[in-house]
A and B are shown apart, each in its own frame.
Chain A
Amino acid sequence: MMSKTIKHHLTDDLLMAYAAGSLPEAFDLMVATHLSLCDDCRARAESFDAVGGHVLEDQNQPVGMNEDSLAATMALIAQGASTPKPARPGCPVLPSPLQDYVGGGVEDIRWKPIGMGVKQAILPTTREATARLLFIPAGAAVPDHGHHGIELTMVLQGAFSDEVDHFARGDVEIADEDLKHTPVADISEDCICLAVTDAPLKFTKLIPRLLQPFLRI
């Protein structure tokens, strides 16, 4: 499952915001999916978690718990653990965070055609930002889908090329609305991508700022 050839990674800004827990859900999903495939970014993300550990531990003013707090917690513990979610069977295309949103493997994706053989499936996240899966037939070009704001696209199956570079499984392309590009799927295989964008209708203030250093806007 682990790809040795990922060339296009997540930025520090995204990884730190993911560790801090300040990203919209759709962007969390992108980060979690990439980390599932990329050891490099996972190690960096763990470093950012460790920074969070120190921030938590080294606070100079802890706030005292209520008097009966420990007893109340022991009572909570006695109620038992919440049932862990059942492990899903492995899927060669969708890492487990995506399987959770699809409710199954690649064959369970509910595709909706959007023209020229291209299909999409919107995933259920909070509305600050949108996550969707894209299906591009082998050799086909993605029609201009007119993204507004920032769009991150990660390849899950197959590969695509555009004016910027060639992107294969695990690679993330980060595009702002000024990037006029025409991704074309490799001829060898149908291409499936995860695409995340700040929703066009409700422009989130957070994302563009986080990515500004990377995009040099």
Chain B
Amino acid sequence: MFTEIDTVTLDEPAAELVARLPWRAKKRIKDKPVSGTKNSCDTKTEWVDHVRRIRDAQDQTAFAELFQHFAPRIKAFLMKSGSDATMAEECAQEVMATLWHKAHLFDPTRAAVATWVFTIARNKRIDVLRKQRRPEPEDLWWGPEAEPEQDNVIVLQQETAQLRTALSALPEAQRELIEKAYFGDLSHREIASQTGLPLGTIKSRIRLALDRLRHAMN
């Protein structure tokens, strides 16, 4: 499944690859219920209930569990992005507090909890480490609607699990480059000097990794 290396060339505009191989359907933006997932009750809805309990009942036990899982990861993420331990600790606390306050905004049909936590942590990093504003797209989907369709929540969970499997199936070198790109202010050139890889190799590996993810998500 992962052998068609030479079908990917550096010069092919990535957008075209995406158009051919959509790996995140856009149809759910319009809130279409997805049916036909009969056995989906077995799918674990990771952390979603925790956020719901925080939102509905200010449940401190749920929050403590989320904290135990995510706070050390946020702290590690910020330290890899160039923050010292003290600042990372402080920011991780603030990210977790934001999570509590914004629990009502979390939409489990659009993002996994880990994705949501990542976006809050990333924005904190841009704010604190890079000292710049973070323009976000206009909210289109937080309507006054009631609870999100459970089927849609499950589809998102399945997609997320699929993506994780695909990511962990990537060759080590490709996964590492993707990780480095996400750990902050590392440009391709800085990654190059860290890894000793030439720039062209890095670009093609990232590209290849993305293409493999898309294949896996198809």
Q: Which residues of A contact B25 (CB under 8 A)?
A: 43
- CB B15 to nearest CB in A, in angstroms, measures 6
Give the CA-CA distance A73 to B98 in the complex, in Å: 10
Q: Contacting chain B: which of A19-27, A163-171, A178-186? A: A19-27
Residue of B nearest to A97 (CB): B135
Fill in one digit per residue for B165-190: 1 if any A CB lies within 8 Å of its CB, else 0.
00110000000001101111111110
Q: Any chain A CB within 8 A of the CB of B197?
A: no
Cβ contact of B164, chosen from A21, A28, A58, A77, cutoff 8 A? A58
Would you call A55 and B178 a contact (CB within 8 A)? Answer: yes
- CB B102 to nearest CB in A, in angstroms, measures 8
Fill in one digit per residue for B124-167: 1 if any A CB lies within 8 Å of its CB, else 0.
01100011111111111000000000000000000110011001
- CB A199 to nearest CB in B, in angstroms, measures 14
Give the CA-CA distance A97 to B140 in the complex, in Å: 13
Would you call A51 and B163 a contact (CB within 8 A)? Answer: yes
Q: Which residues of B contact A201 (CB under 8 A)?
A: none
Q: Which residues of B contact A39 (CB under 8 A)?
A: 26, 29
Cβ contact of A53, chosen from B102, B114, B186, cutoff 8 A? B114
Would you call B96 and A73 a contact (CB within 8 A)? Answer: yes
Would you call B181 and A213 a contact (CB within 8 A)? Answer: no
Q: Which residues of A contact B22 (CB under 8 A)?
A: 43
- CB A182 to nearest CB in B, in angstroms, measures 24
* Interface SS majority for chain B: helix
Give the CA-CA distance A58 to B183 in the complex, in Å: 13
- CB B7 to nearest CB in A, in angstroms, measures 16
Give the CA-CA distance A46 to B28 in the complex, in Å: 12
Would you call A44 and B18 a contact (CB within 8 A)? Answer: yes
Question: What are 8 A-B interface contacts by the 8 Å CB criterion?
Answer: A25-B135, A29-B135, A52-B182, A54-B163, A63-B76, A65-B89, A80-B101, A125-B133
Given A32-B137, A46-B111, A50-B24, output 11 extra A-B contacts at Cβ < 8 Å: A12-B18, A32-B136, A40-B26, A42-B26, A47-B163, A53-B115, A57-B70, A58-B168, A59-B77, A73-B67, A213-B10
**Closest 4 pairs (CB-CB, A-B):** A53-B115, A12-B14, A62-B72, A43-B26
List chain B positions with a Cβ less than 8 A from chain A.
Answer: 10-11, 13-15, 17-18, 22-26, 29, 60, 64, 67, 70-77, 79-80, 85, 88-89, 92-94, 96-97, 100-102, 110-112, 114-119, 121-123, 125-126, 130-140, 159-160, 163-164, 167-168, 178-179, 181-189, 199, 203, 207, 210, 213
